[in-house]
A and B are shown apart, each in its own frame.
Chain A
Amino acid sequence: MAYRTDTKALVMAVLADGPKHGYAVAKAVRETSEGALKLGEGQLYPALYALEEAGWVEGEWDPDDANRRVYRLTDEGRRELAGRVSQWHAFANAVAKVLPPTPDATRPEGAR
C-alpha cells in the first residue's frame, strides 16, 4: 500500500512517552504498530534532526554510551504533536465516512 504517513508525528508520538535514543524510537514504532509500520531506520535520523532544528525535540549525547543521543519531546513539540494528531483524526474520520465500512460492502448488493 502506498499511503504516506507523517514520520515526524510518529516519532514525536513515540517520544511523548519519554526520552529515547534513535534505535528505541524505530523499535517503538515497529512494535506499537505490531509490525505494520516499518520505519526505514536510516530515514529516522534526518527526521529527528529536522525535529530538533524545529525545536520540537531536544537531543543530547548519552553519558552512558558515547555513540548514542537521547531525544526528548519539548513543550513546543507536544503542542505540534497535538495539532498533528487532531489533523490526522479529522482526516481519518473524513476518509472513514466515505469508504465502505467493510470490504464486503464494495460488492454489488446481490452478491453480498
Chain B
Amino acid sequence: MNPIDRYLTALGGAIGGQIPSAERAARLREVRGHLQAAAQEVGMEEATRRFGPVSAVAGDLVRQSRGYPTRSTWALGAFVALAIALAYVVPGLITSYYSFTAWGNRFGLAGGILPPLALVGFAVRVGQTRRWLVLPVLPALGIAVASLFFLCVVHVPGPEKPLSRVLHDEVAYWQKHAEEVRQWRAGQTPAHVRPVWQADEHAKLLPFLMLPYRMERNGHVSIAPSWEADPAAWNRYGKAWEGYVEEQLRLAEAALRHPPTNYFEEVGFDWKRATGEWSEHIALGTLVLAATNALVLGATRRRDRRTSGPEWAR
C-alpha cells in the first residue's frame, strides 16, 4: 500500500459514516486525484503531508457536509434534553418534597415558564446546528419523566406536622367553596363574587390551551367559575362546579384522616387518567418539538461555514 492509499484509507476511516456514503466516496475520489497530481511534483509522502492531518481534513469535510463538527446528534440534543428534563423534574421535585398541595400552585409558575424556555433553547439549538434534534431529545424526556415518577413513588411527603397543617388548609379551602355552592343552591349570590375573571372568557381561551376532548374530560377545568366568577357564570356552570368541589372536599378530608405516604397518594393519583395525560404530554411534546424543528429548518439558511484559513507564511 503506497502512502496515498494509506492516507485515503485513514481519511475514509476518520470520516466513517458521518456523511452519506456516496458523498464520502466522491470526496475520497477527488482527494485521490489531488494527491496523485501533487505526487507528480513533490512525491507521495510530501503530497499527503501537504494535504494536512487526516483528523483535521476529515473534521473539515464533515463540518462542511453536516453543518456541525460532531458525529452525534445525541451530543447535540443533550443540552436541550437537559433543559426540558429540568423543566419537568425541578418543579416536580420541589412540589413533591414540600407537599404538592402546599407548593404546587407556587411552582406551577416555574412549570409554566420552564417548558417554553426549553422550547426556545431547542429552537436556537436547531438553528445553530440545522439538524433534526427532536429524536435524541425524546428519549431523554422519557428518562426525565421516569426519574420523576420514581422519585414520586419513593418519596414520603414532609414531616407530619407541616403536612397536617397543609391538609387542614386544603380542607378549609374546599369547605369555603362548598359554602359558596350552598349559597348558590339557596338562591343567594355567593359572598365572594368578584367579576374580574369571566368564566365565559376563560372558556373561550381554553381551546388554545388544551385539546377539546380534554376539556370534556376535565370539565372542571373549563368551567370552574371559582369565587372570582360573575353571577351569570354560576347559573351556567354551578352544577358542574358543585360536583367538583364535593369531590375535592372529599379527597381533602380523606387525606386528613389518612395522611398520604407518598406523592401519588397525596395528589389522589389516578393511574388511568395519569397514563392518558402523560401519553398526551409525550405526543403533544413530540408534535411541538417536531413542528418547531421543521419550522426552524425551513426558516433558516445553511450558514456559510467557516473552514480553516490559509497559513500566512511570513
| CA of A54 to CA of B307, assembled, Å | 14
* A42-B52 in contact given A5-B310, A49-B65, A50-B304 (Cβ < 8 Å): yes
Q: Contact at B312–A2, with CB atoms within 8 Å?
A: yes
| CA of A4 to CA of B309, assembled, Å | 6
Chain B neighbourhood of A54, CB < 8 A: 304
What per-residue 1/0 map shows which CB atoms of A5-27 lie under 8 Å from chain B?
11110100000000001110010
Q: Contact at A50–B64, with CB atoms within 8 Å?
A: yes
Q: Contact at B312–A42, with CB atoms within 8 Å?
A: no
Interface size on A, residues (CB 8 A): 35
Q: B34's contact among A1, A6, A41, A49, by CB below 8 Å, is which?
A: A41
* A68-B312 in contact given A41-B52, A42-B51, A46-B63 (Cβ < 8 Å): no
Q: Contact at A53–B52, with CB atoms within 8 Å?
A: no
Q: How large is the interface on B (under 10, 10 to 19, 20 to 34, 35 or more residues)?
A: 20 to 34
Task: List which B38-88 residues lie within 8 A (CB) of chain A.
Answer: 38, 50-53, 56-57, 60-61, 63-65
Q: Contact at A38–B311, with CB atoms within 8 Å?
A: yes
Residue B29 at the chain A interface, CB threshold 8 Å: yes
Chain A neighbourhood of B304, CB < 8 A: 8, 50, 54
Q: How far is the CB of A29 from chain B (nearest CB, A)?
A: 7
Residue A36 at the chain B interface, CB threshold 8 Å: yes
Q: Contact at A40–B52, with CB atoms within 8 Å?
A: yes
Q: B307's contact among A23, A26, A50, by CB below 8 Å, is which?
A: A50
Closest to B302 in A: A53
Q: A23's contact among B38, B63, B305, B309, by CB below 8 Å, is which?
A: B38
Q: Contact at A69–B309, with CB atoms within 8 Å?
A: no
Q: Contact at A3–B65, with CB atoms within 8 Å?
A: no
Task: List which B197-225 residues lie within 8 A (CB) of chain A.
Answer: none
Q: Contact at A5–B309, with CB atoms within 8 Å?
A: yes
| CA of A38 to CA of B314, assembled, Å | 10
Closest to B47 in A: A41
What per-residue 1/0 map shows which CB atoms of B165-183 lie under 8 Å from chain A?
0000000000000000000
Q: Contact at B311–A42, with CB atoms within 8 Å?
A: no
Closest to A53 in B: B302
Q: Contact at B33–A68, with CB atoms within 8 Å?
A: yes
Chain B neighbourhood of A1, CB < 8 A: 312, 314
Instruction: Report A's interface with B, CB cutoff 8 A.
Output: 1-8, 10, 21-23, 26, 29, 35-43, 45-47, 49-50, 53-54, 65-69
Q: Given A36-B312, A38-B311, A47-B307, list of 19 further CB < 8 A pairs?
A: A1-B314, A3-B312, A10-B310, A21-B37, A22-B33, A23-B37, A36-B313, A37-B310, A42-B60, A43-B56, A43-B60, A43-B307, A43-B308, A43-B310, A46-B60, A46-B61, A68-B30, A68-B33, A69-B30
A-B CB contact pairs (8 Å), 13 listed: A29-B310, A38-B311, A40-B51, A40-B52, A41-B50, A43-B57, A43-B310, A46-B60, A46-B61, A46-B64, A50-B305, A50-B307, A53-B302
Instruction: Report B's interface with A, CB cutoff 8 A.
Output: 27, 29-34, 36-38, 50-53, 56-57, 60-61, 63-65, 302, 304-305, 307-314
